[in-house]
Amino acid sequence: MLDLTKEIKLDEKSALRYRRWQAFFYAFCFASALYVAYFIFFPTQEFNFSFTMLTSNKGNAVNPRTTEGTLITDGKFSAGQKNYFDTSLVGSFSKIKLSFTPNRSSSSPENTRIDLRKSYRAFLYPESSPIGFKNGTLVKHKNDYYLISEGKRRKFKDRSTLFALGFSESAFIDTDEQDLSYTPLDEEITDTKIYPADSLFKIDDVYYRSSTDGSLEKFSSAGAFHSQYEENFAIPKNADFLDAYAVAKNPIGFADGSLISYGTSAFIVSRDKIYPIGNPDIFLNQGYDWNDIIIASSDELSLYTKEKLFTLTSVHPDGTIFFAPDTQKWYQIENGQKHELPSEKIANSWLKKHPISVLAKSLDVLGGCDLQKETFGGYACLIPLNDSEDTAGKYYEFTFMAKNDLKINNLNLLYEKNMTVQNLKLALRNMILRIKARYGIQGAPQ
């Protein structure tokens, strides 16, 4: 047997004792190794929110709040009021154990129903009015040709007006009345000398857009233009065309929701802000596609204000487009609301990259449980997670309505994995994929 200290002599009786202790020690180490392996292959994730020691909650994402979004820090939940808490995490889990530890003075939370939805956080925003075509889009219906300008639909007086202005007939997207109805009709385009706002031009490989004040706004790059519009939307012009127009100082950047990269960093563009993406895992788990990344220059990057890191708990910013394959519907995020893009053609006018795919059924309650008294003090219940894996999105939103006024000391969520061969295979597969992704080996998730 292994002896690392042969120079230390023991009498026969002590040597036997040492052998026994050594065998016990190595058996203990082997059991410990199995225990560690169990946690690696069947990991648990715990989230805790203590209402009695708020400073200990730093970094935890349980976020208990009211319907209005006010953070609940005193542990008081009023009867009949809807409350929320949430977590964001990666990984497939078999069940969630929810534990409430009530204060001694609190009434019992027994039989309080807790419901779960799993999706992307922004996709759970309330739905608002649908949106029509994007400004600058050229559409036609039967013999009518339109330019979408300043959120309205402007009809060309006739085909000769359209040609006189330099628009190409092939650039117009054939659509129907239903799609057009989402964009209100405005004044007809009759003038062949003055371009309406949101007309697009290409001059010496530089792209411009006419603005409301009659000046031109330059796109920062061809990449920026193509993140917003089709190539054939731009009217080709000679350089002398610029003599008649003032060019605005600030260039137009990338479309909202675009993914840009500079060096090894990737960012999400939204309005005049960019959100640096924390790491490749966050990029993939927030539903983005590597193929959508546009390489930006340092000048283009300087057009934006850098916001704080985009993590797994972050909400997709304004301009993000979701696609629900189960209902074939598109949605755009704007100002904390979700607007439907009512048809594929309308969606395509906004979308020049892959949308973020998420099942519409993730808006429904996927599971729930009723709190029951545990042997030692608290109240707990289990939500199985069998149905929630395919919906995409790593955001778990819990809602409950207390039957009585409650005063809770502690709220705990434990995500667990069942020890099954299937879960072991899944864990191994995920590990291999993560290693492949880390080393850039083909077959890694893109």
Q: Does 34 bind another protein (CB under 8 A)?
A: no
Contact in structure between 60 and 371 (CB atoms under 8 Å): no
Q: How many residues bind another protein (CB under 8 A)?
A: 29
Tell the residue number behind the tokens 């190794």, with chain if given: 33
Site stretch for another protein (CB under 8 A), options 23-31, 107-115, 155-163, 343-351 = 23-31
Q: Which stretch binds another protein (CB under 8 A): 203-211, 214-222, 231-239, 429-437?
A: 429-437
Torsion of the alpha carbons at 391, 392, 393 and 394, rounded to the nearest 10: 90
Length of the chain: 446
Q: Closest separation between CB of residue 116 and another protein, Å?
A: 24
163 binds another protein (CB under 8 A): no
**Binder among 158, 357, 434, 444 for another protein (CB under 8 A):** 434
Closest among 353, 309, 396 to 61, alpha carbons compared = 396
376 binds another protein (CB under 8 A): no
Picking from 416, 411, 383, the residue whose alpha carbon sits closest to that of residue 83 is 411
* Residue 69 backbone class (left: φ over 0; alpha: ψ -120 to 50; beta: rest): left
- Closer CB to another protein, 12 or 204, in the complex: 12
Is residue 12 at the binding interface for another protein, with CB under 8 A as the rule? no
Q: Which of residues 271 and 425 has its CB atom nearest to another protein in the complex?
A: 425
**Residue 31 interacts with another protein (CB under 8 A)?**
no
Residue nearer to another protein on the CB measure, 250 or 265:
265
What residues contact 12, with CB distance under 8 A and at least 6 apart?
none
Closest CA to 21 of 49, 41, 1: 1
Q: What is the C-alpha separation between 369 and 100, in angstroms, rounded?
A: 13
Taking the least distance from each CB to another protein, the nearer of 17 and 429 is 17
Among 34, 71, 439, 442, binds another protein (CB under 8 A): 439
Q: Which is nearer to another protein, 11 or 68 (CB)?
A: 11
Residue 14 binds another protein (CB under 8 A): yes
Query: CA–CA distance from 151 to each of 135, 140, 330, 396, 405 (Å)?
Result: 6, 16, 19, 36, 48
Helix (H) or strand (E) run with residue 306 in it = strand 305-306
Contact 123, 393 (CB under 8 A): yes
Contact by Cβ (8 Å): 358, 123: yes
Q: Which CB sits closer to another protein, 18 or 290?
A: 18
CA pair distance 64, 413, nearest whole angstrom: 12
Q: Is 10 in the site for another protein (CB under 8 A)?
A: yes
Give me the least distance between CB of 35 and another protein, in Å please.
10
Torsion over CA: 285, 286, 289, 292 (sign): negative
442 binds another protein (CB under 8 A): no
Could you say whether residue 4 binds another protein (CB under 8 A)? yes
Binding to another protein by residue 2, rule CB under 8 A? yes
What secondary structure does DSSP assign to 78-94, as a single string? -TT-EEEEEEE--S--S
347: enclosing H helix or E strand? helix 344-350
Which tokens go with 317?
A: 């910013």
Q: For another protein, which is the closer residue by CB, 11 or 204?
A: 11
For the bound state, the minimum distance from the C-beta of residue 432 to another protein, rounded and expressed in Å, comes to 10
Rg (CA), the chain: 29
Site string for another protein, 237-276 (x = CB under 8 A): ---------------------------x------------
Q: Does 429 bind another protein (CB under 8 A)?
A: no
Select 27 or 79, whichever has its Cβ closest to another protein.
Answer: 27
Piece of 36-44, 143-151, 293-301, 390-398 that binds another protein (CB under 8 A): 36-44
27 lines the binding site for another protein (CB under 8 A): no
24 or 163, CB closer to another protein? 24
Query: How many of the other CB atoms lie within 10 Å of CB of 89?
Result: 16
Q: Which CB, 4 or 421, lies closer to another protein?
A: 4
Strands 379-384 and 95-102 turn out to be: antiparallel
Rounded least distance, CB 25 to another protein, Å? 6
CB 425 within 8 A of CB 418: no
Residues in CB range of 84: below 8 A, 6 or more apart: 63, 64, 65, 66, 67, 397, 398, 399
**Residue 40 touching another protein (CB under 8 A):** yes
Note whether 256 and 353 are within 8 A (CB). Answer: no
Smallest gap from residue 22 Cβ to another protein (A) = 6
CB of 122 to another protein, least distance (A): 27
Measured from the CB atom, is 36 or 247 closer to another protein? 36
Binding site for another protein (CB under 8 A): 2-11, 13-14, 17-18, 21-22, 25-26, 29, 36, 39-40, 43, 264, 431, 434-435, 438-439
